[in-house]
Amino acid sequence: MVNEDRLEYSLKGKAWNVYWLLLKTGRPMSVREVQRILHFSSPSVANHHLEQLGALELVKKQEVGGQYVLVGEVKIGVLRHYVKLGKLLFPRFFFYAVFSTIFYSAFILFLVQNLFLRENLFILFFGIIVCAIFWYEAYRVWSMRPF
């Protein structure tokens, strides 16, 4: 496998978009399909970037059909903050936000008898701040995705 520094340098711009597309779809794709989805000016642009990913040993061209399939996954750049579940990519903070919101809501609904006690007001505001931070971070990482 290629070292991380070379990958960080090589996976930029359109090559990064092609890699992200293959990772996101999780299936083999043809040059024309990549060109059409990413709105490249010609199939040769898509082919160039697919071959570049092939040189980095991240994709492989299938002998039958000529489609490109992802063979290596790397955790560089914004991908360090993502978790892949099947074909879906989620920011890691999304799970923290959901977890904290569910448990905070359950705490408020089931365990707090009087919201207006001083101790409960502190817990109320603290929980709101924690949930807001996680949701903000999840949104921020989500907005950094290539497309």
Domain tally for the chain? Answer: 2
Same domain as 82, residue 60: no
With contact defined as beta carbons under 8 Å apart, do 118 and 57 qualify? no
Report d(CA 67, CA 110) in Å as an integer.
54
User: What is the pLDDT averaged over residues 23-47?
Assistant: 91
Residue 1 has what pLDDT? 45
Same domain as 29, residue 10: yes
Q: Which of 70, 97, 118 delimits the end of a domain? A: 70
Report d(CA 112, CA 109) in Å as an integer.
7
Q: pLDDT, tens digit, for every residue of 47-60?
A: 999 998 888 888 89
Q: Which of 70, 86, 111 delimits the end of a domain? A: 70
Q: pLDDT, tens digit, for every residue of 85-123?
A: 777 788 999 999 999 999 999 888 887 777 667 777 788
Range of the domain at 51: 4-70
3-state secondary structure of 63: coil
Q: Which of 52, 70, 88 delimits the end of a domain? A: 70
Residue 40 has what pLDDT? 93
From the centroid of its chain, how far is CA 24?
8
3-state secondary structure of 41: coil
Same domain as 89, residue 34: no
